[in-house]
Each structure stands twice: as C-alpha cells, then as structure tokens.
Amino acid sequence: MPSSSPGNNASNTVVPETCIVVTGASSGIGRELALQLAAPGVELWLIGRDQERLEEVAALTALKGAKPQVGVLDLANVELTEEFLQRSFPSGKQVDEVYLAAAVTLFGEVKDTFVSDWQLTYQTNLLSPVQW
C-alpha cells in the first residue's frame, strides 16, 4: 500500500514554472493569447502600452492560476525595449515561449499618411520582434 506521507503525495508535486511572454497583451489577439495561455505554473509576461488594460488582463490570467507580470512598454521605442529586456530578462532567466502580437496598422489612403506613421509601423511591426 502506498504511503500517504507528503513526499509521496502527487498533489505536492512541484510543477516547473514556464515563462511565457505575450506582446500586444492589452487588446486583440495578444489579449486573447494571454487568456488562453494562462494556467497554473505559468509566469506570464504581459507587454503592451496601456497599463490599465494590461492590469485587467493580468487579473483575469491570475484567476486562471497564472503568475502575471505586467510590462508597460511601447515596442516602437527600440532603446527602451532593449533596456526593458535586459532588466526583466537577465541572461540567466529562461523564457520558454514568446508570442509577438503587438502591431500597429495604418488606415486610409497612402497619400494621407505621414512619414512618422510609416516609421511607427516599421519600428513596431518589423524592428521590435528582432529584439525578442
């Protein structure tokens, strides 16, 4: 007959923590990804520009058993993103999965867009994923 001591109880088994990063987690696809990935044993980094909405997503993921971490960050700012990555994910910290859902979209006619609009799109959609 198996022992009922704490060392042999399956409910006391320590599950290794998985570290997952989701960019664009404050809305849209990123938010839904975060909610779907939330589970016990998951350290879930929620990255986005809107702290209030990120905090809402964090609360929902915590209800599902995840350990949310909120990172308020505009990925279009390459220098701040690099600093954030170095500070939050030192070289010894393992990240198991990264979901790059942050993006900006231009609407309207090309003739009505400004160079700054294109720069923001390029920085967010093309350059920021390179850093991860």
- For each of the chain's 132 residues, which pLDDT tens digit applies? 444 444 444 455 555 689 999 999 999 999 999 999 999 999 999 999 999 999 999 999 999 999 999 999 988 888 888 899 899 988 878 899 999 998 888 888 888 888 888 888 887 877 776 566
CA–chain centroid gap for 24, Å, is 7
Claim: this prediction has a pTM higher than 0.85: no
Spatial separation of the C-alpha atoms in residues 36 and 97, rounded to whole Å: 14
Task: Report phi then psi at 23, rounded to 5.
Answer: -90, 155
Spatial separation of the C-alpha atoms in residues 96 and 106, rounded to whole Å: 32
Burial of 127 (0-12, 13-18, 19+ CB in 10 A): middle
DSSP state of 123: I
Contact residues for 44 (Cβ-Cβ < 8 A; gap 6+)? 20, 22, 34, 37, 38, 61, 66, 67, 68, 69
CA–chain centroid gap for 130, Å, is 15
